Structure 1
Amino acid sequence: MNFNIVKNQVKRLGFVYNGVHHIYTFYLSCLKNWKRFKCRERIYSYGDDNPDKTFYVIGVNHTSAGLFAIVKSIGCHVIYAIQKGYIPVIDMQNFRSQLNDGVNEGNAWEAYYKQPCNYGLGDIKHSKNIVVSSSLPYPDGVEIGFDTTLDKNSYDKYHDLFKQYIVPNVAVATYADMKYANVIADKKQVLGVLCRGTDYTENKPVGHSIQPSPLQAIDKVREVMAEQGFEYVFLATEDKKIFDHFKHEFGDKLLFSGQKLYDGMNGKKYLSEIPVSCSAEKWQNIVDYYATIYILSKCDGLVAGLTCGSICSYFMTDGYEYVYFWNLGKY
């Protein structure tokens, strides 16, 4: 074998590889910049009303996201608007999500939450100063993602804003309070535990946080109960297998909201893809999930995998005595 010939062939292959790699990298950069341009913030004027106000219309497509992924994203846009001196108005009428799935149901946000500043789309349709949000999940400079450090600094930074502007409507709030009263009643020292399964653990969505196994979660919960003196476990899960594990371990000490449980994904990628019989069932499932995270936020302590639900419960709570998040990397 002629060593020089082999060496020259390797050099040529390296040159070709480097050239293709640079072209591909340039293509990805252009694609990213085009997406940001396409999804950019826009300024409009629809009339002469409210000349002294600037409204920030929040519209983002969340085609497969769960309720609290939507809430977390919208919460970031609301925070951005407040920082800019804008009045946020949430538009889930003209953008797709599991809350409306493109069906003309009015503004689907208002089926679950109040508008942050009591202005709806109808109130601003002739307004002079309209800023339409970028249609990216997070606006520039405000991102609460899985990498967010959930400590006192972040709690102090976001808790009051979530409490003031991300408020359930009367029907949802009343239902959640009723659920809390029925589930928790007069029980004290309740440890809230969020343990996701189904689409997280079966499909392992890329970029999402790895969740603990049921046995990992149970071992940690027993440890925390012994060390911190918690007497009850409130479990937030949608996974029947996880629920059965916890029920076997904690028996009458286990509290549960009655949210819908799933025994596998049946070939679906996301929970939001599992069909429901009617819009009333969809509303009920979503409100039951809201009530579960609301109760979680009212517990005395929290042990949870990193998910949008657990992150939102952290910002919703008025204070936990103990907090533990698993940080196991990403899928």
Structure 2
Amino acid sequence: MKSGFLKQGRRAMMLCSLAAVWALPSQAQAWPDKPIRVIVPYAAGQGADVLMRLLGQELSASLGQPVIVENKAGAGGNIGTAAAAKSAPDGYTFLLGTNATNAANEFLYSNPGYSPATDFESVAMIGLLPMVISTSAADIPANGVAKLITQARAHPQSLNVGLPSTTANVVFAQFVKMADAPLFGVKYKASGQALTDTIGGQIPLVIDTVTASRAHIAAGRLKAIGITSRNASEMLPGVQSVAEQGVSGFDVVAWDALFAPKGTPTLVIHKMSDHIAQALAIPEMRKRMMDIGVEPLVMDPAKLKDFVQLERKKWGDVIVSANIRID
């Protein structure tokens, strides 16, 4: 009698377990059946926020559910990223991650509050944000990386470079190392003052985003020496990359990508990735992204995972060797 009860109990437990397993694919197949939240770990109005709201409009239409942007700013993106890492992996919370949150911050901060390597699933790349080295100096020409290197070697540490962000600091450190160009970095809190000082001649050079720099380049107030992506970008026509000008392999750019908490169903991840790829293929979407300084780039989950692993090594190596720290 007791044995019969035990058998029935085991059978009931097995059926419950199987029902739970069977329910997962059906739930994922029905996804999405309620609003989707994307945590942006930066303040409203900043570049990542503007990008996600732009993309979110298209995703809302294609997915048939609202895509809600939730700003959780602070600590260089760590607060919002940590919140996303702790969210339920049910396919209804995602992270708009960046080169900072998912590649650099673990090396810049002693305790960012999450692990980019183990707390997230890669979903889809969204786009690249190349930086540009610019000058107002009369004796350094546009597309003049070779001239800049020659001058830096002839007068070590005499050419100041404005650095208004952590990304600019990393670009600078990698350029100095790979080009063997002994420049002197000057840190700024924001783009405005760094660009103003370069235009006014207080410093000869600045490294900043294409978005912040290109209006000044178009107006002739600055000359673009080189863009920091591996190849030239249609966002800055006529500007050669640093790599194309002799610093072989140079490629340091900011980027934005979508991630999900670890354990999010694979079917959901691939569905979301497909919807993002479709959105990035729309000509008007591509144009609007490039207008805000983001070069669209499609990567599926597997390619993004491999890319982020390489980026973590690249950013980590530069940050550690240059001893760049925030806390």
* Higher fraction of strand: 2
User: Bigger relative contact order, structure 1 or 2, given CA contacts below 8 A and separation 6+?
Assistant: 2
TM-score, normalised by the number of residues in structure 1: 0.28
